[in-house]
Structure 1
Amino acid sequence: MHKYKLPEIKKVIIDPEIIKRFKVEDDFTKLSLDIMIEVGSYICVAANIFPVKTKAWDLDWAIIGGHLVRLYKLISAMLDQTCQRKRETSFIFSRLAFECIINLRYLIKHESDEIFKSYRKYSLQH
C-alpha cells in the first residue's frame, strides 16, 4: 500500500427517469453543474499526479500537466459563470475547454519527442 490517498469524489447519479421529470431549465442546469464539479474534481486529481521518484513532470509531460491545469481552471470559470447566469461568457469558457480537451487528446494519442518539441517551438512564438 502506498502512503498517498486520493480524495473521494462524489459520483453524480444520472437517472433518465428523473431527467424525464425535469420541468424547468434550472433542473437541467443543476445536473450539469453537478457533473462539471465531478469532472473538475477528477481533472484536479490528474493534474496533481507526478512521477514518484522525481515528484515533478519532465519537460514533455509538463505540457500535458499544463493542459490539465488549464482545463481545470476553464471548468472552474464555466461553473462560476453558469452559476451567475452569464450564459455568453460560460459559452466562451466552454469553447476554450473543448479546444483544450482536443489538444490534450491529440498530445496523448500522438505522444512523441517530435510532437512535444514542435509544440514547445510553436507555443514560444506567441
Structure 2
Amino acid sequence: MKLKCLIVEDVTFIREIYRYSLRNENYEIIGEAADGIDALLKIKNLQPDIVILDLILPLKNGLDVLKEAHQLSPQSRFIVISSIDDMATIEFAKNLGAIDYLVKPFTKNQLLESLFKISQNYSEVQSG
C-alpha cells in the first residue's frame, strides 16, 4: 500500500525536488500547497497519510498549520522541513506533533529515512 503524501512548500523548484525524490518509492503524492491556507484546505479535503511541511510559508506559517491540522486530519503524520535550525523551534514543532524535523539543506536519504520511520509507524498501527 502506498502512503499518500501532501507536499507543502512555497518554492516551486523545491516541491519538484521532493516529487523527484519520492518517485519510484512507496509514496503517492496526492497534492501540493504553496501557502498555509491552501495547505489546511488540502489537509482537510485529501486526508493525507504524510505531510511534508515547510515552516516559512505565505499567508500562514507552518507552525500554525501544524497546530490546526491535527483537528482536520488526525491520522496525518508530519515531517517539518525548514532552514530554521534552532532547538526551540525544533522542540516546539515536535511538541505540536511533528514526527521529524529536517533542516535544509538535507539529503534525499535523510528525507527517505524520515518517511520510512513514518511508514513503519503506519505498519505497526495497522497490524495491531
Q: TM-score, normalised by structure 2?
A: 0.29
Greater fraction of residues in helix: 1
**TM-score under structure 1 length normalisation:** 0.29
Rg (Cα) greater in structure: 1
